[in-house]
Every structure is written in structure tokens, then in C-alpha cells.
Amino acid sequence: MEIQFQSDIGKRRNMNQDYANVFINQAGMDLAILADGMGGHLAGDVASKMAVDGLGAAWSTSTIAQPEEATQWFLQEIQKINEAIYQEGIAHPEMQGMGTTIVSTALLDETFVLAHVGDSRAYLVQKGQLQQLTDDHSLVNELLKSGEITEEMAAIHPQKNVLTRSVGFAGEVKTDVSQHQCQPNDYLLLCSDGLTNMVSEADILAIVESDQSLETKTKQLIDAANEAGGADNITVLLIHFEGEARP
């Protein structure tokens, strides 16, 4: 298994509020996390870094190796992160209202467990097909699912960035958690909306399936989003399940 990730400020933003990292626990299992922060000056990047570092620290001391354990762990730990970010905003009024998306995967041999809140996405590339594994927690996606707007309307909707769920707010956060099987030569892509709002799924698939190194593919996805306008921060985390699912 190989993992590469890269984050870029894009062409139109003054700062990068995305954050990603990979951690390993006491059982030798990897956790990949990507977060897209929101909020005023500095607040969004504080929220995303708190989410990634907080989850990563908790994972690093765990001994989780089974999917059911990982599912419960995600539900508990993302709630703790939600409360921590909310309290940080209360303690620092200039950061009040900050929040973040989270998309994360625990890589457990031939199984991976996904958890997400917000509109950062996970895709599985398997046998030449690109499958979105996450469901955007956004106003536009709710309108799309209810049939009130078409996919073409959704792509240019003025409230495209309005989230229905995020991490860092009062009360209980609802986290979507799912278990998936992976096969040799599959790819798992975690990304912020700075990629998916700028690059089509067909182009993403073509890059991931190209005959390049994983590092080059990651850079090419970033470059494609910037070439299309780079309207937002762009973060890409790409996992290749090579041969055996784990080294």
C-alpha cells in the first residue's frame, strides 16, 4: 500500500484552510484524514488542523484493528473533536463559528472504514470505474436529491458551498460511517471540494488510472484544478492498494 497527499492554496484564496495527514496506530494500522476548514481570518485553518491533529493523536495511541472497533472509534472521536473546536471558538471570540469538514479512512487489511462530515469526498477507483463513496452534506445536494434542481443547476448554484453538517458546532454531530472492501490495484481518493468543483469525474479517473507514479498523479490532480481556475484550496490524498492490501 502506498499513500501520497498534497495540499495547494489554489489561485484565488489568500490562505490555505485545508489540512491533511496520515497516522499509524499501535496495531500498525493507518489512518488518513483530510479536513476543509471554514470561518473568518485564521479560524478555518485552526479548525481543520485541530480536527486532523486531534483525530491523529487519538488514533496513534489506539490498538484498533477491526472494522467494528474503528466504526465506534470514529463516532466517539469525531464528537470529541466537534466539542473541542466549538469550545476553542467560545474561548477565542474572533474564531467563534469556525468549523471544518472531515473525511477520514481507517485502513484495516482488506477492509477500510470511512467516516465523513461535510462535503469533502471519498472515491473508490476499481476496475476502471470511479465510485463516490460519500454523500455531500450540503444544501445543494439536498435540493438535488429531492429533485428540486438538476445536476447542471447544482454545478452553478449560488449556495453551492452551504453545508448542512460540519464539525465544530454546539451539540451532537452526525457522522456517516461505512465499511468497504478493497482489492489489489484499487485506489482510494480523499479530496476537498477544491478538486471536485473544478475537475470532472471523468478527468479525475483518467489521471488516477494513468501510467504515472502515485506522487505524480497526486500533483496532476492539483494542477488540473488550478488550470481550471483554482477557485478554492485543493487537497488530494491518494491511496493505492498494491498487490497485497498491506505491505
Q: pLDDT of 15-58, one tens digit each?
A: 999 999 999 999 999 999 999 999 876 799 999 999 999 999 99
Backbone φ, ψ for residue 190 (5° rounding): -105, 135
pLDDT band at 137 (very low <50, low <70, confident <90, very high): very high
pLDDT of res. 243: 57
pLDDT of res. 247: 32
Mean pLDDT estimate for the chain: 94
Contact 51, 102 (CB under 8 A): yes
Give 68-110 pLDDT, tens digit per residue.
999 999 999 999 999 999 999 999 999 999 999 999 999 998 8
pLDDT band at 245 (very low <50, low <70, confident <90, very high): very low
Domains and CATH numbers, the chain: 2-240 (3.60.40.10)
Residues 103-123 as b/e (b if ≥16 CB within 10 A, e otherwise) read bbbbbbeeebbbbbbbbbbbb
Find, among 19, 21, 18, the residue nearest to 3 by Cα.
21
Give 149-159 pLDDT, tens digit per residue.
888 888 888 88
